């Protein structure tokens, strides 16, 4: 398929800059993938589509406050450092993006916080905006993390044209987040409230957890018309045996298995055994899913509404059927569904 097949006009007014008042009260479009039939619901209505012993697969990655603002030595110029991932815990080496990049060179020292709570040195250039930095910090790892927590800001996507708030710290994180490592939230999971989780549990729905640490590469724009030539960035994922067992029992019993979000789907599709069951894994994936694609594990999916020409839209189109998803997006635009991270949800069943 071609990149241009995933183009559509998205009005600025449909981009969600704030979350819905309650997590589980965002709108929900239900797309039946065998018929293309569409229903309009509220997210908590999802309860009506799953039964005893069905399984939902959740990504339990935790977003850390990855955006730091500081000053450059000598000039005092304000700089932004976006922490991507820790390369070496002992040496406190981090892979980061910097802005303005042209002013931040190898050897520069960067200062963060009013009383220089953290100081870092630039040790390498990796890409035009990418750098490797080393934090010059003598305390314990716990103290270091605490300082990142104090100085760092919730890494809201750049399209949200406002400063991150205390509300974002809570709402740009799923209620089942456990393992820190993501620089962007697995947004389909943001719609689950504690009350809804409890009601699903009482109905007999089982939860399997996977961890995929979402990197910025997930949102990198596709710049080639021929999709077979696009390369995804690698992201670390972990699937434990007990969670693989929950999913495999559901496969055996022909239950509904729902991947909550594109990141959960990427993780499970990166760990398929030769007999099309899920296997435990601790690995990195650069899997790029676009139509046509034969899915092995999940037979339903919860996802948000994605940007034109994004790899996320391509995966959803592969799962729901290109024509059905294309039509669903046209309906979503007409019905004024909200798009992106804080937007509304779609259940493909």
Cis peptide before 100 (omega within 30 of 0): yes
How far is 349 from 297, CA to CA, in rounded Å?
A: 13
pLDDT given for residue 30 in this prediction: 98
Cα-based distances in Å from 278 to 133, 264, 318: 37, 12, 20
Domain 67-153, CATH number (from 3.90.1150.10, 2.10.109.10, 2.40.10.240, 3.40.50.10860): 2.40.10.240
Which structure tokens are listed for 301?
């999916």
Please give the full DSSP string across 311-327, using - where no structure is assigned: HHHHHHHHHH-HHHHHH
Domain ranges across the chain:
3-63+170-348, 67-153
* SS3 call for 252: helix
Q: Which residues contact 61 (CB under 8 A, 6 or more apart)?
A: 177, 178, 179, 180, 181, 182, 186, 211, 212, 213, 214, 263
* Segment holding 171, helix H or strand E: helix 166-171
Burial letters 60-85, b for 16+ CB under 10 A, else e: bbbbbbbbbebbbeeeeeebebbbbe
What is the structure's pLDDT at 135?
Answer: 96
Residue 80 φ/ψ, nearest 5 degrees: -115, 130
Is 3-63+170-348 CATH 3.30.465.10? Answer: no
Phi, psi of 99, rounded to the nearest 5 degrees: -150, 125
Residues near 302 by beta carbon (within 8 Å), at least 6 away in sequence = 46, 188, 191, 258, 259, 260, 261, 345, 346, 347, 348
Beta strands 55-59; 257-260: pairing state: parallel
Contacts of 38 (CB under 8 A, 6+ apart): 29, 30, 31, 32, 327, 328, 331
116-123 long-range contacts (CB < 8 A, ≥24 apart) are 117/147, 117/150, 117/151, 118/68, 118/70, 118/144, 118/147, 118/148, 118/151, 120/70, 120/81, 120/94, 122/98, 123/93
Separation of first and last alpha carbons in the chain: 23
Per-residue CA distances from 233 to 65, 87, 236, 272, 286 (Å): 21, 16, 10, 20, 6
Residues 6+ apart with CB under 8 A from 150: 113, 117
Q: What is the pLDDT along the chain (349 residues), one digit of tens a residue?
A: 999 999 999 999 999 999 999 999 999 999 999 999 999 999 999 999 999 999 999 999 999 999 999 999 878 889 999 999 899 999 999 999 999 988 899 999 999 998 889 999 999 988 888 999 999 999 999 999 999 999 999 999 888 888 899 899 999 999 999 999 999 999 999 999 999 999 999 999 999 999 999 987 777 789 999 999 999 989 999 999 999 999 999 999 999 999 999 999 999 999 999 999 999 999 999 999 999 999 999 999 999 999 999 999 999 999 999 999 999 999 999 999 999 999 999 999 9
């Amino acid at each position: 398929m071609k990149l241009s097949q995933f183009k559509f006009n998205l009005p600025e007014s449909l981009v969600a800059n704030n979350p819905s008042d309650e997590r589980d009260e965002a709108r929900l479009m239900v797309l039946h993938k065998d018929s293309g039939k569409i229903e309009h619901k509220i997210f908590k209505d999802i309860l009506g589509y799953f039964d005893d012993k069905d399984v939902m697969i959740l990504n339990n990655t935790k977003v850390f406050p990855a955006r730091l603002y500081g000053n450059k030595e000598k000039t005092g110029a304000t700089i932004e450092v976006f922490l991507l991932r820790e390369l070496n815990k002992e040496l406190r080496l981090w892979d980061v993006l910097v802005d303005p990049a042209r002013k931040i060179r190898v050897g520069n020292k960067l200062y963060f916080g009013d009383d220089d709570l953290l100081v870092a040195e630039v040790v390498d250039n990796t890409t035009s905006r990418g750098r490797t930095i080393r934090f010059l910090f003598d305390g314990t790892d716990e103290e270091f993390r605490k300082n990142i927590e104090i100085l760092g800001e919730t890494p809201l996507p750049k399209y949200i044209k406002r400063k991150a708030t205390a509300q974002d710290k809570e709402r740009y994180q799923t209620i089942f987040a456990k393992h820190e490592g993501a620089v962007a939230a697995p947004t389909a999971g943001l719609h689950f409230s504690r009350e809804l989780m409890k009601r699903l549990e009482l109905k007999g729905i089982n939860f399997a957890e996977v961890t995929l640490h979402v990197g910025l590469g997930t949102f990198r724009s596709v710049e080639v018309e021929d999709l077979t030539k696009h390369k995804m960035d690698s992201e670390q994922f972990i699937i434990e045996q007990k969670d693989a067992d929950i999913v495999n029992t559901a496969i055996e019993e022909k239950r509904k298995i729902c991947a909550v979000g594109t990141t959960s789907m990427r993780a499970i599709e990166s760990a398929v055994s030769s007999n099309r069951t899920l296997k435990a894994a601790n690995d990195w994936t650069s899997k790029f899913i676009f139509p046509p694609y034969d899915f092995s594990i999940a037979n339903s999916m919860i996802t948000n509404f994605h940007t034109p020409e994004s790899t996320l839209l391509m995966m959803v189109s592969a799962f729901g059927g290109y024509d059905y998803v294309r039509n669903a997006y046209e309906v979503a635009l007409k019905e004024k569904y909200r798009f992106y991270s804080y937007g509304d949800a779609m259940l493909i069943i």
